[in-house]
Amino acid sequence: MTHYWILGGIIVVWVGASFFLSRLGETKEIGKKRLFILSLALTPLIGLALYLSSPHRKMYMYKEVFYKCNTCGYTFSEKHEYCPFCEKDGIKSVLVPKNKIMT
Ligand SMILES: [Zn+2]
């Protein structure tokens, strides 16, 4: 009976790895669905090779976190506990993290 467990385990890892790769493939030219099918059919190892060789999508969007002060309206790329400009004026203004979508 033990080999059924091993076989089941291999299938779970196989499908799991294919699914994980397809999630990564979302940002690649190859695409999510195609990468999932290819790694399922040709082992996740081939899927990984395809993922690595596939170029990034041209319209790839990524988020950049920045911190905005609601008192003076200034934005910072680094995290500060309080706004350094407002702190000079004696105001403790907490910076709000925001996501900026870059193209
Ligand atoms: Zn400020």
DSSP string for residues in 64-83: EEEEEETTT--EESS--SB-
With a cut of 70, which residues of the chain have pLDDT below it? 1, 58-63, 101-103
Rounded to the nearest angstrom, the distance between the alpha carbon of 36 and the centre of ligand 1 is 47
Rounded to the nearest angstrom, the distance between the alpha carbon of 100 and the centre of ligand 1 is 19
Tens digit of each residue's pLDDT (9 = 90 or more) over 67-77: 999 999 999 98
pLDDT at residue 101, rounded to an integer: 66
Q: Is the pTM value of this prediction over 0.85? A: no
**Using CA atoms, how far apart are residues 29 and 92, in angstroms rounded to an integer?**
46
Rounded to the nearest angstrom, the distance between the alpha carbon of 63 and the centre of ligand 1 is 23
Rounded to the nearest angstrom, the distance between the alpha carbon of 101 and the centre of ligand 1 is 22
Rounded to the nearest angstrom, the distance between the alpha carbon of 76 and the centre of ligand 1 is 10
For residue 36, count other CB atoms closer than 10 A to its CB. 20
Rounded to the nearest angstrom, the distance between the alpha carbon of 64 and the centre of ligand 1 is 20
